């Protein structure tokens, strides 16, 4: 029992990683909470109304502490028409194959962060974790005033030090093996998770949560031994019964081997780790985040409906081969 476990009333030192975009349902988060871990709902792509609904759905299933998670918005200029044309041309054959109209960039490329943040404050989860950057002092103050624990994400020591300076309550360190988006905004060390955990835990005075490739008891033990207070696991829960992972995504995960993941900007414009497929090979000139994310959204939706894993963002960490189908409670029990 460390201080963070006590503060969050956890029986198991494991956080269910927030998994925006489908896999991370309120049902999955609540099941992990009920089994003694910290469940998280990835809210980055949810509307403010959906964030309020997700919070209510978790609360309807459990009284235990839970987390919401958001993406810190990035300032980036609207891309030039030529860049949009190049990125769209790479997607065009996939659109044609699925009988979709040619790809176009919508006027609205992401949710309004201020409105999402206001919804988070209303829901008042026990924890708000965030990734892709730093929250402002005003944001952190508003969270703290409501008793919400703040957790930032770092992929290296400089980012961890910046988050500590900002006054966050805990830091997720994301090793290079992690599935999904890279959370950093400075240098990305793509370090091995226990190594990064050791260096950050020795350098900062706030609790560290270690993420990336933690798939079993030995993995949880290894990161706790290097100074983490908790392990954060995403890929281990992707095939859970309560996860929202689509059928073609589940089938691709079940068939994946240990060297089948790659870092790609193909789907969102930000580097993320997922299974190699036709899209990770074809998209060589993606737009910056969040424009590429908006450009590829119709294709991903149609691909899911058509059962076509070759056009989906199949986020998965390097430990994917060790994943299995089971209930969230059984997967959690196998981690501790």
Ligand X SMILES: Cc1cc2nc3c(=O)[nH]c(=O)nc-3n(C[C@H](O)[C@H](O)[C@H](O)COP(=O)(O)O)c2cc1C
Residue of minimal Cβ distance to ligand X: 234
- Token look-up 């986020």 returns 315
Segment 165 to 184, residues that bind ligand X, using CB under 6 A: 174, 177-181, 183
Burial of residue 298, with CB atoms counted within 10 A of its CB: 0-12 exposed, 13-18 middle, 19 or more buried: middle
Segment 96 to 135, residues that bind ligand X, using CB under 6 A: 129, 131
Residue 155 near ligand X by CB under 6 A: no
- Token look-up 């910056």 returns 288
**Is the preceding peptide bond at 306 cis, omega within 30 degrees of 0?**
no
Token pair for 277: 């497929």
Segment 23 to 42, residues that bind ligand X, using CB under 6 A: 23, 42
Number of C-beta neighbours around residue 325 at 10 A = 14
Binding span for ligand X by CB under 6 A among 99-107, 199-207, 230-238, 252-260: 230-238
Minimum CB distance to ligand X smaller for 94 or for 237:
237
Residue 222 near ligand X by CB under 6 A: no
Minimum CB distance to ligand X smaller for 73 or for 317:
317
Number of C-beta neighbours around residue 224 at 10 A = 18
Binding span for ligand X by CB under 6 A among 29-37, 134-142, 286-294, 309-317: 309-317
Residue 323 near ligand X by CB under 6 A: no
Minimum CB distance to ligand X smaller for 17 or for 206:
17
User: What Rg, from alpha-carbon coordinates, does the chain have?
Assistant: 19
Minimum CB distance to ligand X smaller for 150 or for 174:
174
Question: What is d(CA 276, CA 161) in angstroms, rounded to the nearest whole number?
Answer: 33
Taking CB under 6 A as the criterion, the residue among 44, 120, 287, 311 binding ligand X is 44
Q: Give the torsion through C-alpha atoms of 47, 275, 26, 44, to 10 deg.
A: -30
Give φ, ψ of 99 to 5 degrees.
60, 40
Q: Which residues bind ligand X (CB under 6 A)?
A: 17-20, 23, 42, 44, 69, 129, 131, 153, 174, 177-181, 183, 211-214, 232-236, 315-317, 319
């Amino acid at each position: 029992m460390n201080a963070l476990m006590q503060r969050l009333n956890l029986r198991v030192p494991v956080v269910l990683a927030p998994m925006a975009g489908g896999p991370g349902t309120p049902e999955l988060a609540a099941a992990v909470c009920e089994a003694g871990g910290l469940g998280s709902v990835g809210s980055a792509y949810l509307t403010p109304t959906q964030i309020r609904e997700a919070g209510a759905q978790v609360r309807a299933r459990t009284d235990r502490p839970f987390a919401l998670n958001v993406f810190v918005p990035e300032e980036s200029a609207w891309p030039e028409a030529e860049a949009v044309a190049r990125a769209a041309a790479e997607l065009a054959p996939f659109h044609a194959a699925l009988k979709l109209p040619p790809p176009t960039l919508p006027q609205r490329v992401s949710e309004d962060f201020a409105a999402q943040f206001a919804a988070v404050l209303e829901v008042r989860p026990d924890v708000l974790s965030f990734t892709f950057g730093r929250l402002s002092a005003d944001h952190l103050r508003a969270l703290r005033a409501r008793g919400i624990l703040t957790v930032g994400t770092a992929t290296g020591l400089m980012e961890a030090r910046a988050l500590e300076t900002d006054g966050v309550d805990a830091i997720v360190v994301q090793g290079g093996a992690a599935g999904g988006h890279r959370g950093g905004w400075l240098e990305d060390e793509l370090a091995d998770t226990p190594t990064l955990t050791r260096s950050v835990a020795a350098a900062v005075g706030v609790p560290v949560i270690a993420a990336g490739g933690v798939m079993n008891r030995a993995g949880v033990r290894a990161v706790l031994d290097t100074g983490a207070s908790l392990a954060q696991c995403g890929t281990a829960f992707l095939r859970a019964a309560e996860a929202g992972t689509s059928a073609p995504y589940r089938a691709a995960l079940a068939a994946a081997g240990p060297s089948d993941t790659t870092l790609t900007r193909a789907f969102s414009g930000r580097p993320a780790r997922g299974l190699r497929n036709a899209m990770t090979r074809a998209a060589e000139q993606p737009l910056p985040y969040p424009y590429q994310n908006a450009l590829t959204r119709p294709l991903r939706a149609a691909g899911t409906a058509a059962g076509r894993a070759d056009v989906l963002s199949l986020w998965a960490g390097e430990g994917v081969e060790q994943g299995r189908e089971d209930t969230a409670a059984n997967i959690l029990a196998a981690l501790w």
